[in-house]
Amino acid sequence: MFWKKQFPLVIVFVMGVVMAVQYFIPHSASEFVYDNYLKWGITIGIFGHILGYFSFFRVHVMKVKKKTPNWGYSLLAIFCAIGMIIVAALDGRGTGGYYMNIYLYTSAAINATVFSLLAFYISSAAYRAFRARSVQAVALLLAAIIVMLGRVPIGNYVSVWTAIGLPSTYDISQWILNVPNMAAKRAIALGVGLGSLLMTLKLILGIERTYLGNQ
Amino acid sequence: MNFWKKLEQLDRRIIYVIITLAVILPFFFRLGLPISISPEVKSIYDYIENLSPTDVVFISGDYDPQVDAELTPMLEALVRHCFKKNVKVIAANVYNPQGVGLVEPRLKKLAREYKKVYGVDYVFLGWKYGGTLLIMRMGEDFQGAWEVDYYNTRLEDLPLTSRIQDYDDIALVVSLTGSGAYISWIYYAYVQYGQKLAAGITAVMAADSYPYLQAGQIIGLLGGLRGAAEYEQLIGHPSLGSAGMEAQSWAHIAIIVFIILGNIGYFKIKKK
């Protein structure tokens, strides 16, 4: 029980206090701790990748063995993971090689294609759902239209009212981003920052223990 | 079914076709719309413009293929500017291993175009595990943090990286990202080490970054394809960003028209 419950709390408390203290004390001992923390952190993370690979293979090999639904995709995932390692090891990772070409002409192309479909979904969703049902919705709608126009060159052409000295869509969109948007973002950032600080203190002091699981 | 009802229930495929045309046609029939320059883009341009040939700009391509269309034009415009000014470039993918395949070919292409020598004028570090820890370690020991470049050459064997010890030797870090990676650069490189930073981010994220910009935590901002297009105008080399802006203009107009039509239909039906 000690190793599962009290020991992690001790590690979190000690490391939390040590790292907080070292940040404010410019001493060689403090720098030694900081430097080693950085080296250890990166090294542990690299071992985490090995663990990730192990977990990946275990999950997919089990799926193939048990012939679970869609096990063919697991076989493909294993084939691709091993295949890319072999290709990189034999042919290198530079431009023009098989490794880079496989990435650019399959993975990158598929990712970009799927993501670009969003433009179509957003257009359809905007047409059906963006309704001026309330005062807030009208404000959102107007701000969205002005910022959308202000972010593209054609917005300058649409702003015919600039002839009588009124600001263009670009100017209005810059104002929206710089004033009301920034005020809201700053308030949210302050709230998140204070929340993070409180959560950190709760973790260090052992008040927040959900990361230990249900034991 | 009356007209407004039909309009409200418009087949989504018609919307898709109109958006497709709005995106594709401007690439063939260009209007040459002028792009005004925003102060946040100009400030990055001015900063790099005032660097000397001994200065180094570190560009971190923290992005993946989903946002390649928005961020690669920024990468190309920034690298072009640096190469034109003979400013040295170190590129890496601190946060995103998928960015390696997007940054490396572009860097090589531009280096060939401007006749730059690898190891002397530019270096590509690729991706290494660490993220935030790597950013912090670069502030303590740059060479220890990376050890080798993407091609497994030790950094002390490359003339450019052999003289980089920490952030004091880097004039500017630019984080190109479709995520919150630039915020980590602010927290750990700017706050802890006072490193000058700039960010190139997707348009959808641009609104989030204005507090950092106004606070001076980033010297400038390239927001979406427009940011790239503005930078291309500044360096006098209109390219992918500028070409894409016309398509984006018409796509935005199409979406705005859809929204207006949808609302007219909604109110007409509601009235009845």
pLDDT (tens digit, 9 = 90+) per residue, A57-107? 999 999 999 999 999 999 999 999 999 999 999 988 888 889 999 999 999
Q: What mean pLDDT is predicted for residues A204-209? A: 91
- For A146, the closest chain B residue by CA position comes to B256
Q: What mean pLDDT is predicted for residues B104-112? A: 95
What pTM does this model have?
0.89
* Chain B: closest CA distance from residue A47 (Å): 10
With 90 as the cut, is the pLDDT of residue B49 above it? Answer: yes
With 70 as the cut, is the pLDDT of residue A154 above it? Answer: yes
Q: What mean pLDDT is predicted for residues A157-170? A: 83
**Does A49 contact chain B (CB < 8 Å)?**
yes
Which sign does the torsion angle of CA B94, B100, B104, B106 carry?
negative
Listed ranges A39-43, A124-128, A158-162, B233-237; the one with the highest mean pLDDT? B233-237
pLDDT of residue A158: 79
What is the H or E stretch that residue B140 is in? Answer: helix B132-140
Q: What mean pLDDT is predicted for residues B40-49? A: 97
Q: How many CB atoms lie within 10 A of CB A211?
A: 8
- Verify whether the Cβ–Cβ distance B207 to A115 is below 8 Å: no
pLDDT (tens digit, 9 = 90+) per residue, B205-225? 988 899 999 999 999 999 999
pLDDT of residue A63: 96
Which residue of B15, B108, B182 is the best one to mutate when testing the A interface, meaning the one whose CB has the most A CBs within 10 A? B15
- Verify whether the Cβ–Cβ distance A41 to B10 is below 8 Å: no
Which of A39, A123, A174 is nearest residue B254 as measured by Cβ atoms?
A123
pLDDT of residue A170: 87
pLDDT of residue A96: 84
CA–CA dist B31, B153 (Å, integer): 48
pLDDT band at residue A26 under the 50/70/90 scheme: confident
| Helix, coil or strand: residue B54 | coil
Backbone phi and psi for residue A47, each to the nearest 5 degrees, phi listed first: -65, -30
CA–CA dist B148, B163 (Å, integer): 14
pLDDT band at residue A161 under the 50/70/90 scheme: confident
B residues 156..185 contacting A (CB < 8 A): none
Q: How many CB atoms lie within 10 A of CB A114?
A: 11
Number of A/B CB contacts below 8 angstroms equals 153
Q: What mean pLDDT is predicted for residues A132-142? A: 91
Residue type present at position A162 = T
CA–CA dist A28, B48 (Å, integer): 36
Least confident of A189-198, B25-34, B36-45, B181-190: B25-34
- B254 interaction partners in chain A (CB closer than 8 Å): 123
Closest by CA to B93, choosing from B105, B77, B81, is: B105
* Chain A: closest CA distance from residue B208 (Å): 7
Q: Tell me what the pLDDT averaged over chain A comes to.
A: 90
pLDDT of residue A194: 96
Asked if A100 and A93 count as a contact pair (C-beta separation under 8 A), the reply is yes
pLDDT of residue A214: 63
DSSP, residue by residue, B171-218: SEEEEEESSTHHHHHIIIIIHHH---EEEEE-HHHHHHHHHHHHTTSS
CA–CA dist B156, B148 (Å, integer): 9
pLDDT band at residue A199 under the 50/70/90 scheme: very high
DSSP count for chain A of H helices, then E strands: 9, 0
pLDDT band at residue A215 under the 50/70/90 scheme: low
- For A193, the closest chain B residue by CA position comes to B187
pLDDT of residue B30: 79
CA–CA dist B134, B140 (Å, integer): 10
- Verify whether the Cβ–Cβ distance A108 to B101 is below 8 Å: yes
Which sign does the torsion angle of CA A16, A18, A19, A24 carry?
positive
